[in-house]
């Protein structure tokens, strides 16, 4: 057996469904998995950006509101019908709206909306993916949690943080439950990433941005491509002994007591 892996073929023959695939980490991961040979199905609410993304990766776009169970089922069923399997599910769609803030200022409607899009959607997506992976006896599910799922932040987005904690716990449990059925489930925990979502948040409050950045030992935010490399690894057979993991790609933020001078 060769000691080197041909990364243009690592995901060859695999079908990957990516929610939130029209931009940010989702799009970067779709590009990376395509470069490694996967067939890509992009699910997103943004039809124009979603179609552009699917065209770019020679894949399929499916219009989906991840908070709607029927639409999520249709996304995964369409992928299986069109391409014959669902081998990889990157359940990545999420929101971080400005009205999700400190607990004393975050109202129930904001709380509910974020839970629905960030947590309930992952429950829908895992159920839909497992219906196809179970009979096949193989698959890799990667759920986007966050570094805030493992540590507390004084610059709070209370519902976002709680939702990502839920994604982490659910991923861990599913990883354990399905380990002997050949299905791996991992929680990707990004640190702060240079995505449109983050840029928008920080454009409104540069002081808050600076306060967050100072705690990253690497001294910068991640680029989406750096998360995409982790997604492609977790999706691949190179990660065959990795399941139920808290897969941190965070520039050291969750291990830092103080950052280096």
Residues designated catalytic: 160
* C-alpha dist (Å) from residue 2 to 5, 6, 35, 239: 7, 10, 20, 17
Distance CA 231, CA 25 (A): 9
Q: Which sign, positive or negative, has the C-alpha torsion 242, 248, 251, 253?
A: negative
Residues in contact with 79: Cβ distance below 8 Å, sequence separation at least 6, in sequence order: 15, 17, 41, 60, 62, 86
Stated as kind and residue range, the H or E segment containing 209 is helix 206-213
């Amino acid at each position: 057996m060769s000691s080197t892996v041909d990364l243009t073929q690592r995901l060859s023959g695999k079908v990957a469904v990516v929610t939130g695939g029209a931009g940010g980490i989702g799009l970067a991961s779709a590009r990376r998995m395509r470069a490694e040979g996967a067939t890509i199905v992009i699910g997103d609410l943004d039809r124009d950006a979603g179609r552009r993304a699917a065209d770019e990766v020679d894949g399929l776009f499916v219009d989906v509101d991840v908070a709607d169970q029927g639409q999520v089922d249709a996304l995964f069923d369409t992928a299986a019908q069109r391409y014959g399997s669902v081998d990889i599910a990157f359940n990545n769609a999420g929101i971080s709206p400005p009205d999700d803030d400190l607990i004393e200022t975050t109202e129930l409607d904001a709380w509910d909306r974020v839970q629905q899009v960030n947590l309930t959607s992952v429950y829908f997506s895992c159920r839909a993916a497992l219906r196809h992976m179970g009979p096949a006896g193989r698959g890799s599910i990667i759920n986007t949690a966050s570094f805030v799922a493992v540590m507390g932040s004084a610059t709070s987005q209370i519902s976002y943080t709680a939702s990502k904690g839920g994604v982490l716990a659910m991923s861990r449990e599913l990883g354990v439950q399905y380990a002997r059925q050949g299905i791996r489930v991992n929680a990707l925990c990004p640190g702060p990433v240079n995505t449109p979502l983050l840029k928008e948040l920080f454009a409104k409050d540069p002081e808050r941005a600076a306060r967050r950045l100072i705690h990253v030992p690497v001294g910068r935010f991640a680029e989406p491509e750096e998360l995409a490399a982790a997604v492609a690894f977790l999706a691949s057979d190179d990660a065959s002994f990795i399941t139920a993991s808290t897969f941190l790609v965070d520039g050291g933020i969750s291990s830092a007591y103080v950052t280096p001078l």
